[in-house]
């Protein structure tokens, strides 16, 4: 984590009227999805659908997505894949009249791949685009959601931004919201978000910093940049402790990230709070888990 990254965290957190300025910018300059990020979302969404089916869970009924963001690529995939109703949620309002058309444009550009993955004809794909009419809850409070009102909860690149204590509460609350026999599917980005890009220091670099240290505390002040640094095993344990049955789980461990972690371990550079983890757990850059109520 560079000094400029810490400075940016402070600046973003304490910029006056930040949320209002962002909304004003969006009004005059429509959001343009990042093509690479959208491709990642498409890949992850198809992997999530495949994982749920492999785990024996149907894609049907009402699907609720935690943290939809700007472009509803993944919930639209689940709609195309058989969900009868979609609920989108956010803490800050990001979804607007440009969001669904942006998702349609990306999925249409990858139409043949989507059709093959979901077993759809071209006409069925277009009909699915036209019938996408989600509910949008913002700001979403899970405590206000009706009991047993959802069949499947999904999230992508969201859980890593939730503090550990709040994540434990969320997993417990979702057991009330999801009907018995229902499922959750979460795709988690376990990487050092500060190091994304060509000049990054490696996707496990943030494991050098202790949570009690001033540097990490300052970096975590920006609520939009906060990451909890939980590892793959932590998410599985949190779900199991909340009473969920883990049906399927997998972790991506790139060789270069594993090598980075092993070097850090050999040099004593891993923060004390992470020293009890196995190297492959620390090096897991992505978590995919399907759990059942």
pLDDT of 193 reads 82
Quote the distance between the C-alpha of residue 228 and its chain's center: 13
Selection from 69, 70, 57 nearest residue 182 by Cα: 57
Give 62's contacts (C-beta < 8 A, 6+ positions apart).
Answer: 83, 84, 85, 86, 87, 149, 150, 151, 152
User: The domain that contains 201 carries what CATH number?
Assistant: 3.40.50.150
pLDDT tens across 225-271, in order? Answer: 799 999 999 999 999 999 999 999 999 999 999 999 999 999 999 99
Element (H, E) at 47: helix 35-54
Q: Do residues 5 and 200 lie in contact, with contact meaning Cβ atoms separated by under 8 Å? A: no
pLDDT tens across 76-88, in order? Answer: 999 999 999 999 9
pLDDT of 218 reads 82
Q: Do residues 232 and 284 lie in contact, with contact meaning Cβ atoms separated by under 8 Å? A: yes
Domain count, the chain: 1
List 65's β-bridge partners, or say none.
88, 154
Residue 288's SS3 state is strand
Residue 123's SS3 state is helix
How far does the chain reach from its first CA to its final CA, in angstroms?
A: 39
Q: State the sign of the Cα–Cα–Cα–Cα dihedral 206, 211, 212, 215.
A: positive
Helix axes 73-80, 122-130, angle to 10 degrees: 120
Q: Do residues 291 and 247 lie in contact, with contact meaning Cβ atoms separated by under 8 Å? A: yes
- Domain of 230, in residue numbers: 3-292
Counting runs of H as helices and runs of E as strands, what totals does the chain give?
12, 7
Nearest-Å Rg of the Cα atoms of the chain is 19
Torsion of Cα atoms, 93 then 131 then 142 then 248, to 10° = -120
Which stretches in the chain have pLDDT values below 70? 1-35, 197-200
Alpha-helix runs per DSSP H in 110-179: 111-118, 122-130, 164-177
pLDDT of 169 reads 97
């Amino acid at each position: 984590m560079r000094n400029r990254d810490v400075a940016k965290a402070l600046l973003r957190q304490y910029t006056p009227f930040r949320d209002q300025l962002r909304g004003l910018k969006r009004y005059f300059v429509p959001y343009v999805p990042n093509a690479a990020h959208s491709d990642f979302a498409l890949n992850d969404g198809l992997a999530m659908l495949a994982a749920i089916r492999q785990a024996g869970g149907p894609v049907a009924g009402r699907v609720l997505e935690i943290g939809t963001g700007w472009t509803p690529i993944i919930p639209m995939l689940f709609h195309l894949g058989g969900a009868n109703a979609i609920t989108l949620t956010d803490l800050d309002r990001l979804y607007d009249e440009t969001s669904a058309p942006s998702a349609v444009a990306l999925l249409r550009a990858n139409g043949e791949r989507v059709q093959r993955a979901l077993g759809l004809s071209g006409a069925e794909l277009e009909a699915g685009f036209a019938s996408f009419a989600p509910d949008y809850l913002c700001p979403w409070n899970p405590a206000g959601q009706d009991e047993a009102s959802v069949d499947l909860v999904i999230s992508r690149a969201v859980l890593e931004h939730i503090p550990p204590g709040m994540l434990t509460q969320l997993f417990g609350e979702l057991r009330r919201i999801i009907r018995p026999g229902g499922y959750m599917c979460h795709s988690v980005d376990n990487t050092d978000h500060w190091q994304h890009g060509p000049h990054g220091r490696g996707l496990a670099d943030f494991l050098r910093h202790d949570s009690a240290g001033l540097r990490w505390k300052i970096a975590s002040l920006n609520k939009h940049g906060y990451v909890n640094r939980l590892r793959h095993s932590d998410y599985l344990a949190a779900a199991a402790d909340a009473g969920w049955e883990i049906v399927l789980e997998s972790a991506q461990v790139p060789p270069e990230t594993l090598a980075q972690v092993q070097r850090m371990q050999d040099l004593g550079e891993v923060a004390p709070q992470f020293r009890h983890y196995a190297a492959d757990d620390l090096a897991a850059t992505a978590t995919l888990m399907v759990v059942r109520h």
